[in-house]
Amino acid sequence: MKKILFDINIVLDYYSITRRKKYPESIKAYELALERDDVYPYISTSAISNIEFLKHGVLKREKPEFTFKERKIIIIEMIKEILKYFKLASTPSYIVFDYDDIENSQIIASANAIDAQVVTRDKAMLAKYQNVAITPQIFLAQVKKQTQKIDFANLKKQYYDLQPQIAKQMDDVLNATSFIMGDKIIQLESELQEFTQAKHAITCSSGTDALLLAMMAMDVRPGDEIITTPFTFIATAETIALMKAIPVFIDIEEDTLNIDATKIVAAITDKTKAIMPVSIYGQPSDMDEINGIAKKYNLKVIIDGAQSFGATYKKQMEVHHCDIYTTSFFPAKPLGCYGDGGAVFTNNDDYAEKIKKLRIHGQSKRYHHQYIGMGGRFDTLQAAVLLVKLPLYAKEITLRQNVAESYCKKLSVQTSSLIIPMIKNDRTSVWAQYTIRTPERDNLQEKLKQHGIPTAIHYPMPLHQQKCFQYLNQKTSLKIAEKVVKEVVSLPMNPYVTETEQERIAHVICQ
């Protein structure tokens, strides 16, 4: 990935008949930047008015017969096209001006702010800013050498695409200096409700805190037992333990890697308070079976949906299949903000009212505290990011599903020991991860690494074997969880994985 800011001279070369002939390298650089997925082209905001002014001069020389108005029409079309192809990089307020060359120092400052190089023919700029400014020739050589590196979550691509809208939303917050709660949080919560059709969506400080808030709302007490899966991120069971409750781990299903609902009843005691399934990699668990058991034994159901926001079970979002559903907006989750964040969803008015208080220190009215709560609010700046991303999320889920489908097709042709993920047909996954299994996991991971393909292990150790949970004295072994931790490997997964990248990845896996 390479960010590149084009200086005015290159842009004018591209749009001038005489200059195109004289500076063919400029044209090649311009075209390559637009063509390559891994080059992110920018133009400095400070350049736009100069481009207009200079283009009048170029046109006057090339087309002396044109009137001012005719030139103006051509220039407007040209600038529109430039703005379609390039993102604007603004001059940052912390610019260091070079008063001998204000124009160039603005361009350099714009480039430095976004960590881009400047492509230019300007000799003075090339001499003065040797680390930043490069010629079109050097740019072409660098990009040709650049191997198309595959990105695991590709947050950079998404930020490049959404940067103007996100900047606008964040500027609103910064200029209003309204950093805690406020209209943006209210708006986001209402959009989250709409998206999930949940009666209540309550944002909070993280997916971990969402779990704590859910358990606090249910009045989980010390010694209560909560039945959950050992094949998950630590936060699932860590929060149970933080509540001084006891995580009771049972084994998972071999095909979905979610909690095995048929093993729940055997784990129920008179201390059991709730069941906490985790929608691992984005796929819901067997919710009908789990809810049936919960009803019979009078237990609560909390879904840890940190990986599954937007997934459906029998055509409905998961919030409709539990007492409380929680999710995370950690950057690498399917719907991520730019820091920590999460949300709690419920159709239960009492829980919702309590959770809203719990997230502000159990406060019922200012400085009056009804419950022991926590500082669990979602940052308004993060809400600003999600207000841009949420409207695009349904489409991103589809893109993720397409990527997953294409992986499955490409990888299922091979007959070796590879196991590809399986989604039950009454539910959908949002593919937080695309995770395959093979007994040769470590070799495969190494091989992929050598080909520049990043992978990750979710997760290398089941929770009942973690040091921090040894005090639980878990006696029975959980065979499937213990086996799959040695076999799982997650492949690059995000909405922008291309067909070519998938072919490259599949080729390495199948060779």
Q: Is 278 in the site for ligand PLP (CB under 6 A)?
A: yes
DSSP state of 476: S
- Count interface residues toward ligand PLP (CB under 6 A): 15
Residues 64-83 that bind ligand PLP (CB under 6 A): none
Write down the least CB distance from residue 460 to ligand PLP, Å.
14
Cβ proximity to ligand PLP: between 428 and 433 the closer is: 433
Cβ proximity to ligand PLP: between 329 and 351 the closer is: 329
- From the list 92-100, 181-189, 230-238, 249-257, the region that binds ligand PLP by CB under 6 A is 230-238
- Report d(CA 194, CA 186) in Å as an integer: 12
Give 85's contacts (C-beta < 8 A, 6+ positions apart).
34, 41
Cβ proximity to ligand PLP: between 104 and 236 the closer is: 236
The residue at minimum Cβ distance from ligand PLP is: 207
- Report d(CA 419, CA 411) in Å as an integer: 9
Cβ proximity to ligand PLP: between 218 and 235 the closer is: 235
Q: Is 6 in the site for ligand PLP (CB under 6 A)?
A: no
Handedness of CA 177, 183, 187, 193 (dihedral sign): positive
What tokens does 176 get?
């209003």
- From the list 136-144, 177-185, 202-210, 292-300, the region that binds ligand PLP by CB under 6 A is 202-210
Write down the least CB distance from residue 224 to ligand PLP, Å.
19
- Report d(CA 257, CA 267) in Å as an integer: 18
Q: Is 393 in the site for ligand PLP (CB under 6 A)?
A: no
Residues 279-338 that bind ligand PLP (CB under 6 A): 304, 306-307, 328, 330
- Report d(CA 220, CA 241) in Å as an integer: 11
Cβ proximity to ligand PLP: between 154 and 232 the closer is: 232
Burial 409-419 (b: 16+ CB within 10 A, else e): ebbeeeeeebb
Containing H/E element for 363? Answer: strand 363-365
Q: Is 258 in the site for ligand PLP (CB under 6 A)?
A: no
The amino acid that residue 192 corresponds to is L
- Report d(CA 32, CA 466) in Å as an integer: 50
Cβ proximity to ligand PLP: between 8 and 306 the closer is: 306
- From the list 231-239, 255-263, 346-354, 360-368, the region that binds ligand PLP by CB under 6 A is 231-239
Strands 225-228 and 246-249: parallel
Among 16, 158, 236, 433, binds ligand PLP (CB under 6 A): 236
- From the list 233-241, 265-273, 406-414, 468-476, the region that binds ligand PLP by CB under 6 A is 233-241
Write down the least CB distance from residue 308 to ligand PLP, Å.
9
Write down the least CB distance from residue 338 to ligand PLP, Å.
13
Write down the least CB distance from residue 309 to ligand PLP, Å.
11
Strand partners, 435: 490
Among 23, 30, 233, 434, binds ligand PLP (CB under 6 A): 233
Give 206's contacts (C-beta < 8 A, 6+ positions apart).
328, 330, 340, 341, 342
In angstroms, the Cα distances linking 256 to 424, 429, 435, 479 are 8, 11, 11, 15
Among 282, 342, 373, 376, binds ligand PLP (CB under 6 A): 342
Tracing tokens 């940067």 back to the chain, one arrives at 163
Write down the least CB distance from residue 307 to ligand PLP, Å.
5
Q: Exposed, middle or buried by CB within 10 Å (0-12, 13-18, 19+), for 34?
A: exposed
Q: Provide the 10 A C-beta neighbour count for residue 121.
A: 20
Structure-derived torsion over alpha carbons of residues 24, 26, 29, 35, reported in degrees to the nearest 10: -80
Write down the least CB distance from residue 75 to ligand PLP, Å.
49
Cβ proximity to ligand PLP: between 41 and 334 the closer is: 334
Containing H/E element for 227? Answer: strand 225-228
Write down the least CB distance from residue 1 to ligand PLP, Å.
25
In angstroms, the Cα distances linking 94 to 16, 106, 165, 252 are 34, 11, 22, 54
Q: Is 376 in the site for ligand PLP (CB under 6 A)?
A: no
Coil vs helix vs strand at 78: helix
- Report d(CA 23, CA 6) in Å as an integer: 15
Residues 203-222 that bind ligand PLP (CB under 6 A): 206-208
Write down the least CB distance from residue 204 to ligand PLP, Å.
9
* One character per residue 120-149, x = contact with ligand PLP (rule: CB under 6 A): ------------------------------
Binding site for ligand PLP (CB under 6 A): 206-208, 232-233, 235-236, 278, 304, 306-307, 328, 330, 340, 342
